[in-house]
Chain A
């Protein structure tokens, strides 16, 4: 598993975003290179929600940021509406980002603590929006209202006067004010309480319909990802393991890593028997020096000779269900 290949990609004119052979590497002190993302390919149709799931360090956030060229990927291609983003000048990319917006994990630190909510939300319009102040104000009020914040009360307040959930709503309002096509959500509910989490997930579903958004939803919580996504891609150590419709993937995971993730996920049902065997700490190998062949082989119970010598390629195991593994669970 944890391999390459593009068998799972759809035809180019069907898709809004198409990523091919994306590689992101960072140089670290000591002349070493962190291979954060190592050649992944995926695509997203307009109006679709793609969930990216995996453990910390698997490269899911890096992938999200690479889509909007922050920073530019080391190599590979990112196309938005058939336009190659990696080749754009920084000015052209700046314009394009009005269509590609992002929200982050920590809602409180992503808002400027010294500014009023209305200024935070209106900021993107200073550059791209209507210049008329009353028009701007009307748009801010509208968007605050649709994320469930009362504009009358919130307008003049600072971020610290709001709870985490409300701050996340304000971040979402800011990201939507320029009417983007794609919203990249990087762990948007991980820092929130369970009750807030449900509110934000419902809100994202509503806004997606209302503003015809395409979502990329990055999270480590499998239940959250399943709830919001149409399609889910499982990542491991900079590689893609498995891509399928979310119901299909959760019902019949074929990658050993997807299976491991799902088996580890605590279900709120005491009648489910948990495998309580205490295992040794099997850790994520270093992305500086990833394993040869399939990157998951060091933790995989099914690993054989071929897994260390040959990298598995994406193959279709069931209709619209793709896996990169030499020993898929079928």
Chain B
């Protein structure tokens, strides 16, 4: 039911059941610009099984969108270099000529973009935009395509789908347009969906609906999904695994539940502490992350988070920590002084004593938070 109609020439399906759907190894993507080489993704590896959801979180510029687009082969231009390997059902995607990619796009892997206002062609009616690639891939008639489009629009809960097919994008709200984009992405029943900040441009009530819709479609179709977002709240309830990215690297990766209950990397902790939460009392002091993400033309030697890390030690500035398993084998983190360890606590005390600004900020916020809590 989940296997789609794809010729064997394009996808070697011999080992589909044995190996994960998507295997990415040591992926690097860089852009050459007049100032130098922007190393946007710097050695990312992960696996994704059929039907699972992977959340990718990080600040702007952490490389999460470039990663998704690299795997989709959507980074166009002569100044882009992608190395490493990305295997989709055993097929090495990065080596495919554009023509075979066209067989995969929509059919096997699809993408939902952040901005539903610009993702649709403003001059083309919804109906044609939903059915265009369906006709291309499945070779069905106009009439069949139209009835399929009605079904799809029904499925993404768009009221009065028949009349909507004759609307233009500007006649619909942002949430409705994102539903259309999802319908387009799902039309050929892909096995892998990239959702790149699918709800960032939307209101919270609409965001909730769209995420529910994506979740349901993913479950009923047994589709794998990569959910790219800057919002830890979005990944929390809706992904199986989460990968935290910083400056083009994966700094921590584990099951979402484990990540929130046992965060190991100082960046994950910093990201979590910096967001306001409705469960906290009002005026709770936020622990902002000092400084800014590094320049990716000339990333720092050693750990890339070291210039902003409250636990930074000389070793961090010299030697890049490897992404290695902690506790059980599935939790990966790259830090010399993981959160919660004795070494980490000692590093914190040492930095407080030395008066390191980024450490003092954290110490002050933690102290402020507890004193405010006791007052109330």
Interface set of A (CB-CB < 8 Å, partner B): 55-56, 163, 165, 193-195, 197-199, 201-202, 205, 220-224, 226-230, 246-247, 250, 260-274, 276-281, 283-284
Contact = CB atoms under 8 A, between A and B. Distances in A.
A228 B283 contact: yes
A272 B237 contact: yes
B271 interface: yes
Interface in B45-101: 59-60
B282 A230 contact: yes
Interface in B239-288: 256-257, 260-261, 270-272, 274-288
A223 B282 CA distance: 9
B176 A227 contact: no
A260 B260 CA distance: 25
- Give 10 closest A-B pairs by Cβ, nearest first: A266-B233, A264-B208, A198-B288, A227-B276, A198-B274, A195-B289, A198-B286, A268-B232, A199-B288, A246-B282
Contacts, number: 150
B203 interface: yes
Nearest to B239: A270
A297 to B, nearest CB: 16
B209 interface: yes
B204 A265 contact: yes
Interface in B204-218: 204-209, 211-213, 215-216
B157 interface: yes
A266 B212 contact: no
A274 B238 contact: yes
A281 B233 contact: no
22 contacts: A55-B206, A193-B59, A194-B230, A194-B231, A201-B276, A220-B203, A221-B276, A229-B282, A260-B205, A263-B208, A264-B207, A265-B278, A266-B237, A267-B279, A270-B237, A272-B237, A278-B209, A279-B157, A280-B159, A281-B158, A281-B159, A281-B179
B309 to A, nearest CB: 13
Given A227-B280, A265-B278, A281-B179, A276 B215 contact: yes
**From B158, B237, B257, B282, residue with most partner A Cβ within 10 Å:** B282
Given A198-B288, A226-B276, 7 more contacts: A193-B59, A266-B234, A269-B279, A274-B212, A279-B212, A281-B158, A281-B173
